[in-house]
Every structure is written in C-alpha cells, then in structure tokens.
Chains A and B, each alone.
Chain A
Amino acid sequence: MDKKYGVYICTGCGIGDTLDIKALSSVGKKFPVKTHPFLCGKEGVELIKKDISGEGTNTLVIVGCSRRVNFDIFRFEGCITERVNVREQVVWSHPRSEFPALTEDQIDDGEHFDRVQMLAEDYLRMSLAKVEKINLPEAYKLDTLSRKILVMGGGITGISAATDAAKAGYDVTIVEKAAHIGGYAAKVRKQLPLENPYEDIIQPVIQAKIDEMEKYSKNITVKTNTVVARIAGQPGDFTVTLKKPGEKTEFDVPFPLPPEMKVDESGKELDVEKLRERYLEYNQGKKDILTFDPNGEKFGAVILAAGWRPYQPEKGEFAHLGFGELPDVVTNHQFEEMASKGKITRPSDGKEAKSVVFIQSPGKDEDDSDFAYAGSVTSLVSLKQASYVREDYEDGKAYIFYQHMRTPGLSENFYKSIQQDPGIFLTKGSVVGVSKNGTGLVVEANDTLLGDKIKVKADMVVLATGMVPVTVDDPVVNLAYRQGPAFRDIGLFNGYCDSNFICFPYETQRTGIYAAGCIRRSMTMEECIEDAAGAALKAIQCLESVNRGVAVHPRSGDMTFPDFFFQRCTQCKRCTEECPFGALDDDEKGTPKPNPTRCRRCGTCMGACPERIIGFADYNVDSIGSMVKAVKVPSSDDYSEPPLRFLGLVCENDAYPALDIAGLNKLSFSADVRFIPVRCLGSVNVIWIKDALSQGMDGVFLLGCKHGDDYQCHFVKGSELADIRMKKIGDALASLALEMERVRQFQVAIDEYDKLPGIINGFVAEVEALGPNPFKGF
C-alpha cells in the first residue's frame, strides 16, 4: 500500500492550553498537519474523512487522546490509524503548575527546556517513525473450516453445552467414554435446587436435559463408549481421532518423555539425538504429531466437559476419622450411591442409619482446610445428604461439622431452609476423631459453637471429600501439539483446567478448547449448566473468529498474526518452547510450524526470537525499534544540564490503561520517560532495550502484569518470561560497564494506577543517582 500521511492535532481537552501547537506541528511538517479544537466532534471527524476521500490520505497520525478512548470514532476503513496520546499521558499528567512553561528569555538559552513540550514532540516523532514501519494486516484464512463443535463428556455439562450450541445452529458431537450419557447427574437420588426460591432438593433434572437435547438430534451426534485419541491441527480445522476406551491406535497421541527417561543411568541429561531416539522408542507405533489422521473427524472447536471423579482417600489418609477401618465411615460419593438405591442403612450390619454425621473438614492438626478438591458444592451436598436422612427417618438426625459452610449466592436460601429442619444440627468445629461405640460410632469435635469439645453418637459418618477433575489423572484432550498432549501448568490450579482465575472462565491455555463444569472447579449442577452455556458461547466465538481470520481472545478481533522469515531461522526452538499457547509445532529439524488460529497474538515468540525474524503487520521489532530510535536524547551539546531520558515499555492490558487512569486522575509523574505500549511484556525483544541504551537513554523499565503462581498476565507467561529475560540482560549490561539497575521490571495491576507515580519517579530517581548513561552523545 502506498502510504499517504496526514497528521491531525486536536487542541481540545487542555492540549492547546498546555502545548505549543505550532512547535508540535513543525515536528510533523514533512506531512500535511492539521489542527482542530475538537477533533472527535462531528466537524473534526469530517475534516479527516474529507482528506481520506479527497486527498487519498490513508495513514493517519492523530494527536490527542489515548487510543483506549474514542477508538470507534477514529476508526477508518482501510486506513492505518496511529494515536498519539498527548492528553492522558502528557498534558493531564504533567500540569503546568508542576512543569512550568518557559518564559520568553528562557527559550533557546541553552540552559532551559520545556519537558512537557519535549515529551509531546517525542511522542509525535515516535508515532511518525512507527507508521512508516507498519502495514494494514491481512486476515489469515484457513483452507478448510469446520464449524462443528466437539463436546468431550456426556454429563450434565456436556449435554447442556451441546444443546446450547445446537440451539444456536451449530453441529455438535458429544463423546462419552461410558456406555450411557448422563454422568454423575444420572446417579444421584436428588439434586440441589436450580431455580427460585432455591429452598428444597429436587428430583434429578438430567432426564429432562437429555429429552431436551434429543429435540436437536438433527444437530447433535452422541457417541458413547468413545474417547479422544488425539486432537490435531488448529481451531477451525481440528482433526480428531476417536476410539473406544482402552483401545490402542496409531493415532494415539505421542507423549513427551517422563523426566526419569530424559537422563542416563548416572543422572546426566541426554543429548538431543539420544533424547529423540528415546522419544521415538517411547512412542513406538504412534504417528508423529504432524501426521493427520486421514479418517479423522473435523471439528472447529472443542468444549471440554470431561468432569470429575470422586476423590478416593488413600489407605490411612483419614485414619483418625476411621475411614477404611470402620465400615460405617464413608465418603459423600459412597453415601450418594447408597441413598440412590434406597433407605440409608449402615454398611456394617444393614441397620437403619438414623443418626449420620457429615464432616466437612478432616481437621487434622491446626489445619482447618476442607477436604481436597472440595468447594461450595461439597458444603451444599452435605446439606442435601443431611436431608436424605430426614427423608428416610422421621426421627432421624443429621449433624454437619464444618470449618467452612460455603453456600454462595442464592444457595444461601437452601442453607436456610435445611437449617430449619429440627433434626439437622450444624456447628463449626474441628473433628478430632471417630471411634467405635458398641455397634455405632462416636464423633468427637473440638472448638465447636456449643463450647469446647462435644461428642455425638452416630450410626454413620460421611466425609465431604472432593471432586477430582479428570485432568489430574490424564491429559484427556490428547493434543497433538509440540508442547505435549496436556494442558501446561494446571498444577497451579490443583489440576483443574483453568487458565487465569476469574477473568477468563472457560478459557484454557489452548485456543479453541473451552472448559466447562467440574473440570474447571468443583461445581453444582446449576453452575455446570451455566458454565456449559458460557463455554458453548466461547466455542461459537472461536468459530466466528477463525472464519474471519481474527484472534479469539483476549485480543478479540485482531487480524494480525505472527509472520516468520524462515530463511533466517536457526531452529533454536525458543519460540516453540515459550509460546504460552502451544501455537507453534515444529518439524524434525526444529523449524517452527505456525498454527495461526491457535495463536493469541501476544508476540511472546517475537520477544523470544534472537534472530528477530518474527513480527506482525502492525507490531514488529522494527516498528517498536524505530520508535525507540525516534526519541530525541538531549546531550550536553544541547543543554548545559540535559535532562535524562527513560524508556518505559508498557503492557497494553493493565499497565497502559493504568497510566491513562493516572492521567485521568491528574496524577503527575516524571516527564522524562517515554512510554511505548507493547502487546505483552512477553513480546519485548531485548534488542529494544539495547537500542535504547546504546543511543544514550539512561534507563529502561518494563511495566506489566504480576507473574508467579497468582499471575495476572493476560497471556499467562508473558511477564514471567520478560522477568527471566531481564535477569539475563543484566549480565550483558555488566559487560558494557552499565549498571544493572538501569533496566528494571515492575508489576502493576490495572487498579494500581495510584502507585504509578511512585514507581516511575522512584526508578527515575534511582537512575539519576547513578548518573547519566556514559554512552550518551556517542
């Protein structure tokens, strides 16, 4: 595309009052520059539109407010639009009261300078440099697109998800490993309420759900006794091999070597060739990941609703509660099985179980945590099962000992209603032991609400053990991905298939695969049904994005994708290793094989690549590098005491908005820092830092999301990888006799805008103490 540039400066919102617009205009003087007092108004937009249609202007540099606002107003079809943020990050955050304008005789005296004007001019310069280096993206289109959705798991979640997707007009296949669909929901005596007033347990709804699904049998195929052998390919074009449970096929997914096989007898790590050999040996009889099953079924997206299995306590794990020793001590799952068969009786002698104690927390030592994999659902299930006792026996008694009684939302109504039963007794307390008492049991608990210790007689004791997601035992999805068949790092979530806490439910670390129900966390059936709807919508979003060649999440609608200049690839595998979403496979030599629809466009590969051969149409090593180089670094030739210059590489997701909010709140910070938004700190290529320092900038910092176990990175790994890279850059700096303190990374959340001035000014002061960059002026 032939670029025809136009610079438009808005003088509203205080910009014209603070800045010398004439001087600013002259920065962009190689192009037509127009100013307007209200650019986002009708008249201002018309001005731009006139240039587009009349002059053929197609590359617009709009100087005014942040790109996070008015983006819809300044969106012009077929044009590159670059926004220069002089409102939030220049004039609003650098008031003249703190940063006074120059007086007449201070101008050009070689001593005084106007920091705010310099800041605005630099930002315009940087944007002008950038627009020269970027292009309009062209969408990546798949050769073949499947609009079918695969639902893994035929429990209440899978059935609901399939029905929801079918209602929206999509074709769905459910695979269920058992012989019947329905899952656990078909095995309970009764279930928790699903609707207002949320007070009483109800008959299981699973049959009604199945009946409803059968109305859409035109769209829904159900395959029981079936599991997924492998899912290959990418969203919109998955090739899925199905098989019978336990069956061995050549399209069973290859597994990575377990750690103990990666070393020789002496514990030394094996070399690449040896590893390869072992890997092939280990996966003998299995096709490699790049070979597609010719008989495989095509799917566009996957809903993972494979659910959970009951926690099975290990031998002696709850010895103090008598589990394993006393037959009348059972888990909630065993109790449910008994209850669904008929009246509750003691397993030991078949006598009526009229007094049942439900234990929510194992209560060993000082630990008050609930059973592993428990949650609010296990609290609610105890309440439900307590009412079974009352249902079966008019003089029955049910006791619940809890450390936490979790009944969120309207399930509080259920708690309240169960509490009303005169035969149900609740108390907080730590259960210290269950022992035999004649033919029955005695449960002893400390620190109860009844004061001190209490003991109650019981016919049975029920442990509220948790719901283990099946991803704990098995990869389940069996992805034919270079990074392995399973989800990475779900250990952080106890094996629950989750990617990022509350922000992005359903989203896994694999694009196109959306988790719902108890595989995400322990849930009630009501939650599962709701979750299913969410995951179905995500799967649909995925299909309706990849068909247009745009990103699904979190950069929804982004048309760019990473472009590789393979001639220069050294097969170092950093990109394939580091991609948080496993988007890149590789061939035997290690040349990356991109799968663009798996990609989330975070640019982590671009940040990783030492050869700098990866880039996006509008975001690449050169475009950002040019921005860095466009920053004017004043030296002692310009001023007797030149100001220092800092580069801030800022994550777009949280840190950049936080900076804008700081501006909105008129919080001021150093005017010597130049910020460049980056897609993710993971996309930061260290060359930018080196460029900045070698052209005399005094310090560089990265501002991004929290990393670690409770990370907030939108791309899971970005800020963590940046942290590792920054640590490594320290050594390089030392070799240049530059202090390591000149490069830093800070963590900030979107709501921590008030901390930004402290962080920025703190860093500036630290570097000022070190003195200017010795390379300045070279």
Chain B
Amino acid sequence: MADKYLIEPDVEFIKEIQKMGGDTLKKCFQCATCSVACPISPDNRPFPRKEMIAASWGLKDRLVGNGDIWLCHNCGDCTALCPRGAKPGDTLGAIRAYAVTEYAAPKALGKMVNDPDKFLVLLLIPAVIFLALGIVLKIFGVNWLNFSPGGEEIVHGKFFSTWLVDLIMVPTSLWVVAIFALGLRRFLGDMHENALREGKTDKEKIDAVEFLKALWRVLPTILKHKKFSECGENQERATSHLMVFYSFVGLFIVTGIFFVALYGLQIHGPYSQWNPVKWLANVSGIALVIGTFLMIKERLTNKDQVTVYKDWYLLIIVMGVGLSGMLTEATRLAGVAGLSYTLYFIHLVFVFNLFAFLPFSKLAHLVYRTVAMAYAEYGNRK
C-alpha cells in the first residue's frame, strides 16, 4: 500500500501474540505508566507504550522489525506497575518470540519449536539422525557407532565416535549460522526502516564498520548484564541469567579447546580431573545446572510473570543439556558403563536440540538482542 498512513490491523497476529504469552495485551488503555516506569527505555520514543497499542491494533509491521522489542529485558517493572494488568513486559516477550519465528526459515520448524505437541518429535530428530547415520556408515564399514564399547575405561568416544558427533554437529553449526545470517539480514533492514519511520535513529544508512564498532562498544554492557541489573522487579533473574550465560561461555571455551586438541594435537578425551580445562568444564557444567534450576524455580514462584511453552521448552532443553552432561560424567567416573553410555546419548540429543533449533527458540535472543543493542548504540538511540 502506497499510503504510509494507512493501517490494516491483523487480527490473526493479535491472536498469535496472545497465544505466545501476550494474552493480556488487549487490556492496555494507553496510560503510558509502562514507558515511565521502564528503567532502560530511552527518552526519545520510549517503549513499551507504543508497542502495546501497535500490538492491540495488530500492527505486525510495526512490531516484528522493531528494534525496541529487543531492547526490553523483561524486567517486569512495567508489568508490576501496570494499572490494567496488561503485562507489557510479557507482551513484548511474546512479540519477540513471534519475531524469532518470523526471521528464522523454515517457518515450519519455528512453528514446531513453539508447539508443545511437537516436543517429542524434536527430541526424536537427533536420536534418529545419530543412529541412522551411525548405522549407515557401519554398513559402509565405518565403525563410528559401537553399541558394545569394551575396555577398562569408559570412553564415550568409543560408543559415539567423536567423528560421528562432529560429522553431525559441524554441519548443524553451519546451518545455524546460515539461518541466522539470512534472518539477520532481513532483521537489520527492517529494524533500520522502522527506526527511520519512527525517528529513532540519526543514521541514514547502515555503515558496516561503524556498526561493528558499535557492537564492540555494547559488548561490555552485555557481558556485565548492565541493562539487566538496572531492572527493579525481576532483578534476581539477572543472577541466574548471568550464571547460565557464563556457563555457556565456559563450555564454549572448553569445547573449543577440546576441538583444537583433538584435531590439532590428536589428544583424545576424557581429560583427567586434574586438567584445568576439566576444571573449567566442571565449574561451567555445575553453574549451568544451578543457574537453570534457579530460573525454573523463579518461573514457578513468580506468578506475575507469564510463563508459556516457549519458556519451558528452552529451560527443559538447557536443563537437559546440563543435567545429562553432568550425570554422564558422574556415571563415567563411577564406572556404571551402560547407564553412562545411555546418558551420553541423551546428552547428545539435548545438545543437538539446543544448537540446531537455536534460531527458532527463545535462545535466539542472544543474537537478536545483541544486534538490536548494537544498532541502538549505532543509531544513537537515547
């Protein structure tokens, strides 16, 4: 439509948002308490008041590509103070979930991630891939899957060969990167267009170098969770989030070292418990389990905050990764071979879910929010 003022509400969009945790959005009566209460909203064109009316009018175009929805950290201050119980924080959370499914192709997969009925299917996908690929390779004589790994020591690599794992996980990582790349291209464009239309940026075009510099500038904010800790209501969430965040960083480093050691130095695992890399792995693993546990506990006790399937999905997967990983190690050290190998398989299934569906799950926020924050920094959004 040529007329930029013409608006056409999308009722289906409203219903979707309501399903994804924004069922209260229609309660908003536009008093703007939320925008005033928000500790991290900029002064110029603050959120979430304008997002709330756009949502209740079903104006998808104004929301999906709106960088502001990602600047929100769902502190909950607005939700706590909203006189109508419209829960702006949770509504923005729902809009974010919708935006994730919008930008991640194929959309069908995004739908599956958000559909509780498909949870088992998602778990089955890696199980089938691992087993099927292992068996197919076996037929061709490549023995990377061994159902009766022997030997004194329990080495998980003897069951699912590291080669087999990486044969799956490396392409998966690439696919994730590709999906994000495609999504981000559209996202950046939309975000810029939205910012131009709403007067939220002082830049005409996106300059890649300047943008990267802005990204560099916001990294400390992200690493220190500075925005998160400005929040009032849900401040304790910053702690658990920080734990989970750094445990992932730790595990990422461990995986990196392991990868290099394996393929570069031909050093195989498992590492000795005295190895500093193992220390980092253990600390991170424990932090992951505890952090996730705290998150689940908060979700269960905080009745003011909306928790829907998208939240539980991610928490279960992360918890699954952490718990299965730690238990695999524990059973290995205890010498319970059968159980340990089974747990390892479960661990692989969870890890696959976490990574392969990252662009479709709530976890995608780590990319979108980072980019949105970098864009806000770049566009001088204040």
- Among B1-9, B122-130, B137-145, B354-362, the stretch in contact with A: B1-9
- Among A249-257, A419-427, A567-575, the stretch in contact with B: A419-427
Q: Least Cβ distance of A277 to chain B in Å?
A: 64
Query: Which A408-459 residues sit within 8 Å CB-CB of chain B?
Result: 416, 419-423, 425-428, 442, 444, 449-457
Q: Using an 8 Å CB-CB cutoff, how does the interface string of B141-156 with A read, 1 for contact, 0 for none?
A: 0000000000000000
Q: Least Cβ distance of A25 to chain B in Å?
A: 64
C-alpha gap A426/B25 in the complex (Å): 13
Query: Which B39-74 residues sit within 8 Å CB-CB of chain A?
Result: 50, 53-54, 56-59
Query: Which B1-20 residues sit within 8 Å CB-CB of chain A?
Result: 3, 5-9, 11, 14-15, 18
If A449-B53, A450-B59 touch, does A422 touch B7 (CB 8 Å cutoff)?
Answer: no
> Contacts of A247 on B, CB cut-off 8 Å?
none
Contact indicator B26/A450 (Cβ below 8 Å) = no
Beta-carbon nearest neighbor of B24 in chain A: A420
C-alpha gap A422/B9 in the complex (Å): 10
C-alpha gap A219/B92 in the complex (Å): 62
Beta-carbon nearest neighbor of A450 in chain B: B53
Q: Is B29 an interface residue (CB 8 A)?
A: yes
> Contacts of A454 on B, CB cut-off 8 Å?
5-7
Q: Least Cβ distance of B276 to chain A in Å?
A: 56
Q: Is B27 an interface residue (CB 8 A)?
A: yes
Partner among A419, A444, A453, A457 whose Cβ is within 8 Å of the Cβ of B26: A419
Q: Least Cβ distance of B35 to chain A in Å?
A: 12
Contact indicator A395/B57 (Cβ below 8 Å) = no
Sample of 28 A–B contacts (CB below 8 Å): A395-B11, A421-B26, A422-B18, A422-B26, A422-B58, A423-B9, A423-B11, A425-B56, A425-B57, A425-B58, A426-B56, A427-B53, A442-B6, A450-B50, A450-B53, A450-B57, A450-B59, A451-B50, A451-B198, A452-B5, A453-B5, A454-B5, A454-B7, A455-B3, A455-B5, A455-B7, A456-B6, A456-B7
> Contacts of A395 on B, CB cut-off 8 Å?
11
Q: Is A645 an interface residue (CB 8 A)?
A: no
Q: Is B30 an interface residue (CB 8 A)?
A: yes
Contact indicator A449/B30 (Cβ below 8 Å) = yes
Q: Is A674 an interface residue (CB 8 A)?
A: no
Contact indicator A457/B29 (Cβ below 8 Å) = no
Partner among A416, A419, A450, A456 whose Cβ is within 8 Å of the Cβ of B54: A450
C-alpha gap A419/B54 in the complex (Å): 14
Contact indicator A420/B27 (Cβ below 8 Å) = yes
Contact indicator B11/A397 (Cβ below 8 Å) = yes
> Contacts of A453 on B, CB cut-off 8 Å?
5
Beta-carbon nearest neighbor of A444 in chain B: B5
> Contacts of B6 on A, CB cut-off 8 Å?
442, 454-457
> Contacts of B14 on A, CB cut-off 8 Å?
422
Given contacts A419-B27, A427-B57, 16 further A-B contacts (CB under 8 A): A419-B26, A419-B29, A420-B27, A421-B26, A422-B14, A422-B15, A422-B26, A425-B58, A444-B5, A450-B50, A451-B50, A451-B198, A454-B6, A455-B3, A455-B5, A457-B8
C-alpha gap A765/B203 in the complex (Å): 70
Q: Least Cβ distance of B79 to chain A in Å?
A: 17
C-alpha gap A425/B5 in the complex (Å): 16
C-alpha gap A456/B3 in the complex (Å): 11
> Contacts of B57 on A, CB cut-off 8 Å?
425, 427, 450
Q: Least Cβ distance of B1 to chain A in Å?
A: 10
C-alpha gap A210/B30 in the complex (Å): 42
Q: Using an 8 Å CB-CB cutoff, how does the interface string of A386-417 with B read, 1 for contact, 0 for none?
A: 00000000010100000000000000000010
Beta-carbon nearest neighbor of A425 in chain B: B57
**Which residue of B26, B30, B84 has the most chain A CB atoms within 10 A of its CB atom?**
B26
Q: Least Cβ distance of A715 to chain B in Å?
A: 43
Q: Least Cβ distance of A400 to chain B in Å?
A: 12
Residues of A within 8 A of B (CB): 395, 397, 416, 419-423, 425-428, 442, 444, 449-457
> Contacts of A452 on B, CB cut-off 8 Å?
5
Beta-carbon nearest neighbor of B84 in chain A: A416
> Contacts of A419 on B, CB cut-off 8 Å?
26-27, 29, 56
If A422-B58, A425-B56, A425-B57 touch, does A450 touch B29 (CB 8 Å cutoff)?
Answer: no
C-alpha gap A428/B49 in the complex (Å): 14
Partner among A416, A420, A422, A426 whose Cβ is within 8 Å of the Cβ of B11: A422
Q: Least Cβ distance of B26 to chain A in Å?
A: 5
Q: Using an 8 Å CB-CB cutoff, how does the interface string of B69-87 with A read, 1 for contact, 0 for none?
A: 0000000000000001000
Beta-carbon nearest neighbor of B54 in chain A: A450
> Contacts of A423 on B, CB cut-off 8 Å?
9, 11
Q: Least Cβ distance of A442 to chain B in Å?
A: 8
> Contacts of A425 on B, CB cut-off 8 Å?
9, 56-58
Contact indicator A420/B9 (Cβ below 8 Å) = no
> Contacts of B198 on A, CB cut-off 8 Å?
451
Q: Least Cβ distance of B341 to chain A in Å?
A: 51
C-alpha gap A427/B9 in the complex (Å): 13
Q: Top 6 nearest A-B pairs by Cβ distance? A: A422-B14, A455-B6, A455-B5, A420-B26, A449-B30, A453-B5
> Contacts of A421 on B, CB cut-off 8 Å?
26
Q: Least Cβ distance of B287 to chain A in Å?
A: 42
Beta-carbon nearest neighbor of B62 in chain A: A450
> Contacts of B26 on A, CB cut-off 8 Å?
419-422
C-alpha gap A444/B4 in the complex (Å): 12
Beta-carbon nearest neighbor of B26 in chain A: A420
C-alpha gap A423/B13 in the complex (Å): 11
C-alpha gap A450/B4 in the complex (Å): 13
If A422-B15, A425-B57 touch, does A450 touch B27 (CB 8 Å cutoff)?
Answer: no
> Contacts of B9 on A, CB cut-off 8 Å?
397, 423, 425
C-alpha gap A421/B15 in the complex (Å): 10
Beta-carbon nearest neighbor of A446 in chain B: B5
Q: Least Cβ distance of A450 to chain B in Å?
A: 6
Q: Least Cβ distance of B136 to chain A in Å?
A: 49
> Contacts of A426 on B, CB cut-off 8 Å?
56
C-alpha gap A425/B29 in the complex (Å): 11
C-alpha gap A456/B6 in the complex (Å): 6
Beta-carbon nearest neighbor of A421 in chain B: B26
**Which residue of B50, B53, B58, B198 has the most chain A CB atoms within 10 A of its CB atom?**
B53
**Which residue of A422, A427, A442 has the most chain B CB atoms within 10 A of its CB atom?**
A422
Q: Least Cβ distance of A329 to chain B in Å?
A: 19
Q: Least Cβ distance of B110 to chain A in Å?
A: 22
> Contacts of A456 on B, CB cut-off 8 Å?
6-8
Beta-carbon nearest neighbor of B6 in chain A: A455
Q: Least Cβ distance of B27 to chain A in Å?
A: 7
> Contacts of B56 on A, CB cut-off 8 Å?
419, 425-426
> Contacts of B50 on A, CB cut-off 8 Å?
450-451
Beta-carbon nearest neighbor of A456 in chain B: B7
Q: Least Cβ distance of B65 to chain A in Å?
A: 16
C-alpha gap A420/B15 in the complex (Å): 11
Q: Least Cβ distance of A431 to chain B in Å?
A: 13
